[in-house]
Amino acid sequence: MENKPPYPLQSVDNALHLLQLLRDQGGLRVSEAAAELGTARSTAHRLLAMLVYRGFAVQDANHTYLPGPALSASSLVGGPRMQRLRRTLLPHMEYLCDRVDESVNLMVRVGTQTRFLATVESHQALHVGDRQGTILPAHLSSGGRALLAELDDAQLAELYLSEEASPHAGPRPAGASTADGGARLSTTEFQRLLEGLRGVRKSGYALNLEATEAGICAIGKCVVDKTGRVVGALSIAAPMPRFPRDRIPHLAAELHTTVERARNDLDPHTM
C-alpha cells in the first residue's frame, strides 16, 4: 500500500474515494457519500456533479448515482493516431468556432459509443462547455449518428441487436447491453434508428435535438482524409434557443466547408 503523499489535495482524494465507492458498491446517494467522506451534503453533491459532468457517474430517476460510462471505458486503440488527429483538426475547429460562434467538438466512435477527443468553446457567455473525455451513446449524439450512418444495416444490427434478435423479435429485456458496454436497442428502437440514419445519409449531417442533454442541440458531420476514409466527426453544439430550424442549413454549410478544408491536411498514412 502506498503512503499518503505529504501534501494531499483533499478534494481530489474525496473525488477518487467516490470513484472507488461507485466501482465497488454500484450505487451511491448523496447522504451516503457525505457520510463516507465526512463532509457536508453540499460538498458531496458538488463532487458527484463533477463526476457526472466527466462521465464517471450517472444519476437515475431515484437520485442514486451509478457508475458512468467513463468508469468502465477501455483505452482508445491507436492513441498516437488519435493525438495526431486532434492536433491536425484543432486549427480547423477554431476556425469553425469563430465562424459560427458556437462550441465545436471532435469525436470518434468506439462500438456503440462516441468519445469526445477535443472541444473548442464558444466565447459567448451562454455556451456549451468543454466535452473532452465525455462518452455518449453513438445513436443519440450528432457525431455518433453521422459515423453510424457510414455503416450498412447488417453492421448496425451486429452492433445493436443480439444474435437471436430479428425483425419479428420482441423488445429487448431491460438492462441488456452491447459488447462494449453500451445499451442494446429493442427491435422497434433499432428500426427507428435505421430510418433516422437514412435521413442522415441523404442530408450529409446528423442532428441531436436535446437527445443527450436538456437544452443542448448539435449538428454533426463525418471528417474524412484525403482518400475519403472516415476518421472521426465534428459537431457544432449550441444552447437550444440559438438552434432554431432555420439556422440548421447555415450551420450545415459551415460544417461542410470546414470538413472539406480539413480533408487536405489529413494524411491517410498518419491517420
Q: Indicate whether 105 and 185 sit together in one domain.
A: yes
Q: Indicate whether 164 and 106 sit together in one domain.
A: yes
Q: Indicate whether 66 and 88 sit together in one domain.
A: no
pLDDT at residue 251 is higher than 80: yes
pLDDT at residue 165 is higher than 80: no
Quick one: which of 3, 65, 2, 55 has its CA closest to 30? 65
pLDDT (mean) for 83-111: 96
pLDDT (mean) for 62-80: 78
Q: Indicate whether 126 and 66 sit together in one domain.
A: no
Give 75's pLDDT tier (boundaries 50, 70, 90): low
Q: Which pLDDT tens digit goes with each residue over 100-122? A: 999 999 999 999 999 999 999 99
Quick one: which of 227, 213, 223, 206 has its CA closest to 258? 223
Q: Which pLDDT tens digit goes with each residue over 116-146? A: 999 999 999 999 999 988 899 999 999 999 9
Q: Indicate whether 63 and 112 sit together in one domain.
A: no
Q: Indicate whether 183 and 84 sit together in one domain.
A: yes
pLDDT at residue 25 is higher than 90: no
Percent of the chain whose predicted confidence (pLDDT) is above 90: 68
Residue 1 located in a structural domain: no
The CATH number of whichever domain residue 91 belongs to comes to 3.30.450.40
Residue 216 located in a structural domain: yes
Q: Indicate whether 53 and 131 sit together in one domain.
A: no
Q: Indicate whether 47 and 96 sit together in one domain.
A: no
d(CA 177, CA 189): 14
Per-residue pLDDT, 45: 94
The CATH number of whichever domain residue 57 belongs to comes to 1.10.10.10
Residue 269 located in a structural domain: no
User: Domain limits at 177?
Assistant: 79-263
pLDDT (mean) for 49-59: 88
Q: Indicate whether 255 and 153 sit together in one domain.
A: yes
pLDDT at residue 170 is higher than 70: no
Per-residue pLDDT, 271: 62
In one letter, which amino acid is 56? F
